[in-house]
Amino acid sequence: MAKPPVSENLTTLSVHLAARKPSVAPELASVIEAIALAGKSIARKVRRARIEDVLGQVGHTNVQGEAQEKLDVLSNDLMLHCLSECPAVGVCASEEEDEAVVVRPRSDGGAYAVLFDPLDGSSNINVAVGVGTIFSILPNDLPDERTAEAVLQPGSRQVAAGYVLYGSSVLLVLTTGDGVSMYVLDPELGDFVLVEPSLRLPAERKIYSLNEAYRRDFPAGYNRYLDWTHENGYAARYIGSMVADVHRTLLKGGVFLYPPTAVNPDGKLRLLYEANPMAFVVEQAGGVAAVGGRRILEISPEALHQRTPVILGSPVEVDHVTRHLAD
């Protein structure tokens, strides 16, 4: 029998999270719902960007020396507001904030640390390309005076992670450590509804996704890999917005890479709120995320905004990359 359309078989994000109790604690569900609320609000800002005159730069840079877009700042404020209103949030960290933002200690209910990139890919926003909010949720089990340190944990300690993609539709992709679910925002209902309870990444697909214009600066192994792909019928796909590129990789398969370059010897992407949450999602969908011979999730962070090279995607395709890097 044909599956009924989602519109006749609705499961909202809240209902889906509640149904997964006790593996998804109600407090954790409340944090995810706070992120979903911020995501809906950011989606509205992104949609109306040209109408409300919120395109363009604010005229200063963030801690990493990158020009902040007006929408970066708005999205950051919305995330911080929704998360600090949620009683289970202890501390937040954001690409747009220099330091961790302590909200409430463990003794006052702050059981989770939430790290995020409020609007990844925002330099593409003026051309209406897909952008997104990436988030990582960690437990906060530290004594009250050390709450800020809860943001510095390896990705293997994440209890949930995912992203909201503001594309031709608004999607929430989420893992709580038992597979990956995908929800779509029904703009008329104003709710995220379940469209895929168990996403699986194809085991192989001849697609690579990286900024090939930098190849003269890549370590030699990446160039050996690229030469090999050119001889073996691969397609290149690169949007330049990590959420959109990783999302395509998740659905269609292939490999997404951000190698070290001369300008960014540790790669460009940030470990804690870009690489780790994407690595958790990809692994939970049956993929691999590894650099330098170890899982991204096993890297011990030393600094909030530290960068890491990224290789993630279909297991067979990640193997091809690492084989060439090792040669």
Using CB under 5 A, list all residues that contact Mg ion: 117, 120
125, interface contact from ligand AHM, Mg ion, none, CB < 5-8 Å by kind: none
Q: Are strands 170-175 and 288-291 parallel, antiparallel or unpaired?
A: unpaired
Written as six digits, the tokens of 128 are 């209406």
284 lines the binding site for ligand AHM (CB under 6 A):
no
40: number of Cβ within 10 Å: 19
| Contact call for residues 118 and 96 (beta carbons, < 8 A) | yes
Radius of gyration of the chain, Cα coordinates, nearest whole angstrom: 19
Question: Least separation, in Å, of the C-beta of 263 and ligand AHM?
Answer: 8
Residues 72-111 that bind ligand AHM (CB under 6 A): 95
The reply to whether omega before 5 is within 30° of 0 (cis) is no
By CB neighbour count within 10 A (0-12 exposed, 13-18 middle, 19+ buried), where does 82 fall?
buried
Question: Least separation, in Å, of the C-beta of 120 and ligand AHM?
Answer: 5
156, interface contact from Mg ion, ligand AHM, none, CB < 5-8 Å by kind: none
Alpha-carbon distance of 244 to 224, in angstroms, equals: 26
241, interface contact from ligand AHM, Mg ion, none, CB < 5-8 Å by kind: ligand AHM
Largest CA distance in the chain: 59
Question: Least separation, in Å, of the C-beta of 33 and Mg ion?
Answer: 23
Alpha-carbon distance of 229 to 223, in angstroms, equals: 10
Which CB atom, from 71 or from 194, has the smaller least distance to ligand AHM? 71
The owner of tokens 């930098």 is: 214
Which CB atom, from 13 or from 207, has the smaller least distance to ligand AHM? 207
Written as six digits, the tokens of 110 are 């702050």
Alpha-carbon distance of 167 to 131, in angstroms, equals: 7
Residues 140-199 that bind ligand AHM (CB under 6 A): none
Q: Which of 14, 41, 58, 66 binds ligand AHM (CB under 6 A)?
A: 66
268, interface contact from ligand AHM, Mg ion, none, CB < 5-8 Å by kind: ligand AHM
Number of residues that bind ligand AHM (CB under 6 A): 12
Q: Which of 121, 167, 277, 309 binds ligand AHM (CB under 6 A)?
A: 121
Q: Which of 70, 205, 247, 268 binds ligand AHM (CB under 6 A)?
A: 268
Question: Least separation, in Å, of the C-beta of 107 and ligand AHM?
Answer: 34
133, interface contact from ligand AHM, Mg ion, none, CB < 5-8 Å by kind: none
3-state SS record for 51-73 = HHCCCCEEEEECCCCCEEEHHHH
259 lines the binding site for ligand AHM (CB under 6 A):
no
Alpha-carbon distance of 229 to 207, in angstroms, equals: 9
Q: Which stretch binds ligand AHM (CB under 6 A): 120-128, 147-155, 188-196, 288-296?
A: 120-128
Cβ-Cβ contacts under 8 Å for 223 (sequence gap 6 or more): 215
70 lines the binding site for ligand AHM (CB under 6 A):
no
242 lines the binding site for ligand AHM (CB under 6 A):
yes
Which CB atom, from 66 or from 144, has the smaller least distance to ligand AHM? 66
By CB neighbour count within 10 A (0-12 exposed, 13-18 middle, 19+ buried), where does 74 fall?
buried
Binding site for ligand AHM (CB under 6 A): 66, 95, 117, 120-123, 211, 240-242, 268
